[in-house]
Amino acid sequence: MENIIKIALAQIAPVWLNKTATIEKIIDYINKGGKEKADLIVFGEALLPGYPFWISLTNGADFNSTVQKEIHAHYIRNAVQIEAGDLNTICKAARENKIAIYLGTIERAQNRGSHSLYCSLVYINKEGIIKSVHRKLQPTYEERLTWSPGDGNGLQVHSLKQFTLGGLNCWENWMPLSRTALYAMGENLHIAVWPGAYRNTIDLTRFIAEEGRSFSVGCSGLMRKEDFPKNTPHLELILDNAPDILSDGGSCIAGPDGKWICEPIINKEVLIVEELDFNRVLEERQNFDIPGHYSRPDVTQLIVNRERQSLVKFKNEE
């Protein structure tokens, strides 16, 4: 059965900006995926510890604002420090359940001073080892007020049974060259993670599937007014301007022919479980294969810089 992957999509809300409680919820869903004998479980963009919804609700562009500084400081304190072991319990759950994980996080990157934040998609294999951390290349619109732009280090693919997995965050999935980089590395199961937006997953999931002749997954989070913890800084101000539903989900799966395997599901927490057959990729690549017989590298080529960016490089002293 190496040609079959059982995939689980965890469409859930975070315990917003509470790292510890959100990790507990994530582990609960990893265990649920393990009980389903899933090979892979996917969580939405920025789920740990949550998407920066406050920015568009509290005049986030107000320069030198005490409100913005205090919420941002709270966000930093609850962000993930991978080098400090913040994901160790999640890695342990992956190992115990023999399940690989794609997890959307807010990373407090040590090699960038530990105070700037990155929207990072982390891949953990079935042995519980972190194999890649993809920092979102370009935060979108108001996200730029709290997230920093990433680099190409995490543009990587991973083998799972006969499949080759790759993943991108949110609007990165609209970036044709980012998708092309993954296609060229052999991707045939594309993971797109979102904070939760049916309006995006309904169109792009099927488009990527048909373009790449690959399985395409859109995994989204949820966010409702009741998901804001009472100890959130400036909660009353945030809720005054918040709709009842801030993110509606829309998690879904499309096959290599662009047809739905699971249509988008909205407005509820759910664990979606489906089996995918690798042979369907081989069938659809017969007539179109972007990195293979349908490419023309003698005419167009893509250059990818996968060096992890940092302010300083130290040379060993003699």
Please write the tens of the pLDDT for every residue from 76-88: 999 999 999 999 9
Q: Looking at the domain assignment, is residue 289 inside a domain? A: no
Instruction: Give 76: exposed, middle or buried? Use CB within 10 Å, 0-12, 13-18, 19+.
Output: middle
Return the pLDDT at 313: 86
Is the per-residue pLDDT at 318 higher than 80? no
Residue 220: domain span: 4-284
- The CATH number that applies at residue 146 is 3.60.110.10
> Is residue 306 included in any domain, yes or no?
no
Task: Quote the pLDDT of residue 276.
Answer: 98
Check whether 162 has a pLDDT greater than 70: yes
Nearest to 39 by CA among 102, 88, 85, 90: 102
Q: Is 309 domain-assigned?
A: no
Q: How confident is the model at residue 97 (pLDDT cuts 50, 70, 90)?
A: very high
Residue 78 burial (CB count, 10 A): 22
Residue indicated by tokens 């966000």: 75
316 in a structural domain: no
Is pLDDT at 306 greater than 70 in this prediction? Answer: yes
Within a domain: residue 255? yes
Q: Distance of alpha carbon 224 from its chain centroid, rounded?
A: 20
Residue 139 pLDDT: 97
- Give the pLDDT score at 314: 86
Number of domains in the chain: 1
Q: Reply yes or no on whether the pLDDT at 303 is more than 80.
A: yes
Query: Does 317 fall in a domain?
Result: no
Q: What is the pLDDT of residues 249-298, one digit of tens each?
A: 999 999 999 999 999 999 999 999 999 999 999 999 999 999 999 999 99
In a domain, 168, yes or no: yes
> Is 163 part of a structural domain of the chain?
yes
User: Whole-angstrom Cα distance, residue 103 to residue 167?
Assistant: 10
